[in-house]
Amino acid sequence: MQEQILRKFFLGFIQIHILHHAKEEPFYGAWMIEELKEHGYDMSPGTLYPILHSMSEKNLLKKENRTVQGKIRKYYSITELGETILTEARQKAYELFKEIK
Ligand SMILES: [Zn+2]
């Protein structure tokens, strides 16, 4: 129960985190799993990929295939809508964290 509630909360944080990195530079899934691990989120590909997929469907991210060392990798970058959402989410997150820190 407790874990389910937290998971729901974290889903929002993780999506903001993903948008933040997508804005900095295009990333691929395995890179993001490592990045999230460093921030204390242990995410399997089976959890992350559906999130990336749904964010692409919502037009927050765009996918692009790149060939790296003979392998095709899907890279994700931010869309214009993603940037708009990120700007707003960042303000809201900042406002909240100032209060609860
Ligand atoms: Zn990060």
Residue extents of the structural domains in the chain? 2-100
Distance 38 CA to ligand 1 centre (A): 8
| 17 CA to centre of ligand 1 in angstroms | 6
d(CA 94, CA 89): 8
Distance from residue 40's CA to the centre of ligand 1 (Å): 10
The helix or strand, by DSSP H or E, that contains position 10, with its residue range, turns out to be helix 2-24
- Residue 31 makes CB contacts below 8 A (sequence gap 6+) with none
Q: pLDDT category, 1, cuts 50, 70, 90?
A: confident
Where does the pLDDT of residue 17 fall: very low under 50, low under 70, confident under 90, or very high at 90 and above? very high
Question: What is the whole-number distance in angstroms between the Cα of residue 53 and the centre of ligand 1?
Answer: 19
The pLDDT, as a whole number, for residue 7 is 86
Q: How many CA atoms lie within 13 A of 50 on its CB side?
A: 5
Query: How many angstroms does the Cα of residue 30 sit away from the middle of ligand 1?
Result: 13
CA 21–ligand 1 middle distance (angstroms)? 7
Residues 6+ apart with CB under 8 A from 36: 14, 17, 42, 43, 48
Q: Worst-scoring range by mean pLDDT, 4-13, 58-67, 80-89? A: 4-13
Structure tokens at 69: 């060392």
Q: What is the CATH number of domain 2-100?
A: 1.10.10.10
